[in-house]
Structure 1
Amino acid sequence: MFKKESSTNYGHQSSALQILYGIDLSNKTAIVTGANTGIGFEITRSLAKHGCQVILACRNMTKGEAACSKIRKEQENANVSCRKLDLCSLRNVKQFAEQYRQECLPLHILVLNAGILNVTFRLTEDGYEEMFQVNYLSQAYLAFGLLAPMLATKTDSPPRIIAISCESHRVESPGISILNGIITDRLSPRSPQYFDHLLAYGQSKLCLIMFIAAFRRNQPQVYAVSCHPGNAINSDLTRNSYAYQFLVLLTRPFAKSLQQAAATPIFCTIMKHILNESTVYYNNCDEGSPSSFVYNIKLIDDLWIQTQTMIELAFKKQPLII
């Protein structure tokens, strides 16, 4: 028996494999973004170990194939494969989703895990600030693009989207306010003058939670939820930020292993009782309390609309693939 640490039987020290104990996922198919390293790899490895067919959606195919090989060495019959997904390119996201739809494959679980933390200001080929696009806009577009196969998948429970956010979503958000609503030029600044990498990172993660709240309202057939995995000791996220590396050093005594960091995402992926809960944000395998912006219907609806507008602008007003 596990020690009771929260309103569930799991908590800060729980691991993904503890939560998955005795669970058979051989009839499930999942896509995990950013799955070749860190928490994404651990989520993938844990799902595959319990029979789930997992598609690693990665920008670097060499690293993606290496991750698949590592999982297969641990478990020979692991059903894992790798597909190229470059979140810096909305066109590549579109191609990924179109190919998946054309193959008529089932999709029970979509884990939006990919994330970057840039110290320097960079724009993508679509003209958006790179962190905003990778951490939020492209993954929102991917969710739109994969909605059809999720809804077409025959299952006894709704398909799930799990977005990996973090507690940094609580920082000041230049592009989101009660007074001014959603300001797209501050969500994705066009010049370094308005760029602060820590605020930009936190804001991208806030957008992800707000998007999940809006998705839940607009697509109730899909169970959409976000979560904070916790601060992992071996995460690659902080490699480009000395400020975050310093914070990680300070919090190291309280940090999680990658298996522990994967626990809350896995909890959100398989637990049945949470389907009846209104919570859109989980932390330590329990209901979390996100920023009040997440509960502001006007703001989340505005972000929902602005997100679609920004994607359409990148395609020169071409319609969305939903």
Structure 2
Amino acid sequence: MAFKDNLILMSSWEVWKESVFQKLFTYHLPPASALLQSKDLSGLNVIVTGSTSGIGLHTAKEIAMAGANVTMACRNVKAAKEIASMWKEEVHNIRVLNVEVMELDLVSFSSVRQFADEWEQRDKPLHLLISNAGMLALGESEKFTSEGLEQHMHVNHVAPSLLTLLLLPSLLKAPSSRIIHVNSVVHHLGVVEPQYWNSKSDQSICSIEAYASSKLVHMMFLKSLASKLSDRNNASIQCIAVHPGAVCTNLNEGSKRKIFFMYDAAEGSRSPIFCATSDSVTENLVKGFAYYSCSCKPGKVAAKAEDLDACSVVWQKTLDILELKDDYLSQVLDKQ
């Protein structure tokens, strides 16, 4: 019990430290817009999920402004098209922005599959998959989606995992590609209990714990994917989880409860943009995986995420829920 209490205390300290002191740790860093001033991303195909607001919106815009072909993958297609039009209008006398909109609703597995099918039919490489969309149902009791999954686990882990797995052929077509998952330092407070992903828990789980657990297990899924790719001598796909900081966004109703140490959405996009575009990130990959903090430096991951056996359990449970064969990854790789 003492060990468990100490572990909880250490995890809470990691979250508190990263959040309260984040502006102190990052005061010297340039704004997100400056990270790409000297970069030309022309020719890169990029998908950004959840790009109509918050971190995703700023990430998609800056990467598009740097010349990439950006696909805004989101539920609200109308809003996304209006946003894309505004971006194009901003620079219409200077350049042509390559931005398109595709519908993607992570609450629906059929929507994820349809999106992936439409993308794969284009038969072109995918250089960057920036998985930003997520949910945090603050104050809500435990709820399950129509797919039978706890809602945070569904939207923050299982659906993004399905999208990633279905887009692997396109990611493998690129000489080098990256999967960027906008994670959170609160993954330190998460638990790995696969038996409760699609059934009610014995104890009442608060929304923060459910959110933290979904972030933890998705990090473990990415780490397992990276390890399996590395074992097959395929280093073309890099898997990176990144903490954007404590950010005021629609996700946490931040506009209503802004706290002095929190970032705005533009500041929150800095570390995801850095991880997506910086060459230095490759220096800190371990078997194809890295976790970065909001300071644009490698961060400390939860002990559970260091356990590859536990990561394999998460991997297998995810495949089982998605009804994918155990050799799904091998089949994809063998076709390349």
State the TM-score bracket (shorter-chain normalisation): 0.7 to 0.9
Which residue does 1:39 correspond to in 2?
55
- What root-mean-square deviation, in Å, do the aligned CA atoms of Structure 1 and Structure 2 show? 2.6
Partner residue in 2 for 1:48: 64
Task: Please give the residue correspondences for 1:1-322 in structure 2 after superposition, counting only pairs within 5 Å.
Answer: 13-76=29-92, 77-118=96-137, 119-153=140-174, 155=175, 158-173=176-191, 176=192, 183-190=193-200, 194-219=204-229, 220-233=235-248, 235-239=249-253, 249=258, 252-278=259-285, 280-283=290-293, 284-312=295-323, 322=332
**Residues in 2 aligned to 1:40 and 1:245: alpha-carbon distance in whole angstroms:** 16
Once residues 70 and 232 of structure 1 are traced to their aligned partners in structure 2, the CA distance between those partners, rounded to angstroms, is 24
The structural deviation recorded for 1:257 is 2.6
Q: Deviations over 1:51-97 (max 9, x none)?
A: 11100110121222122123222233211111011101112111111
Give the aligned length.
293
Query: In the alignment, is the contact (CA less than 8 A) between 2:190 and 2:216 conserved in 1?
Result: no
Helix, strand or coil for the counterpart of 1:210?
Answer: helix
Q: By how many angstroms is 1:273 displaced?
A: 2.2
Q: What secondary structure is seen at the aligned counterpart in 2 of 1:287? A: coil
Structure 2 unaligned segments of length 5 or more: list them: 1-25, 230-234
Structure 1: runs of 5 or more not aligned: 1-9, 177-182
SS for the counterpart of 1:22 is coil
Distance 1:165 1:62, change over 3 A: same
Residue 16 (structure 2) aligns with: none
Check conservation: 2:153, 2:214, Cα contact below 8 A.
yes
> Using a 3 Å threshold, how does the CA distance of structure 1 residues 230 and 259 change in structure 2: closer, same or farther?
same
Scaled by the length of structure 2, the TM-score of the pair is: 0.80
Q: 1:9-34 CA deviation, whole Å, 9 max, x = no partner? A: x7674322111121000111100110
**Distance (whole Å) between structure 2 residues aligned to residue 92 and residue 115 of structure 1:** 15
Q: Distance between the aligned counterparts of 1:39 and 1:224, measured in 2?
A: 19
Does the CA-based 8 Å contact 1:57-1:84 persist in structure 2?
yes
> Partners in 2 of 1:267 and 1:59 — Cα distance?
26
After superposition, the Cα gap between the structure-2 partners of 1:193 and 1:289, relative to the gap in structure 1 and judged at 3 Å, is closer
Label 1:191 to 1:274 Cα distance change in 2 as closer, same or farther (>3 A): closer
> Structure 1 CA distance, aligned partners of 2:87 and 2:198?
37
The percentage of counterpart residues that share the same residue type is 28
Decide whether the 8 Å contact of 1:15 with 1:262 is kept in 2: no
Deviation at 1:106, TM superposition (A): 2.2
Letter paired with 1:109: L
Would the aligned equivalents of 1:187 and 1:203 in 2 still touch at CA under 8 Å? no
Q: Is the 8 A contact 1:121 1:129 kept in 2?
A: yes
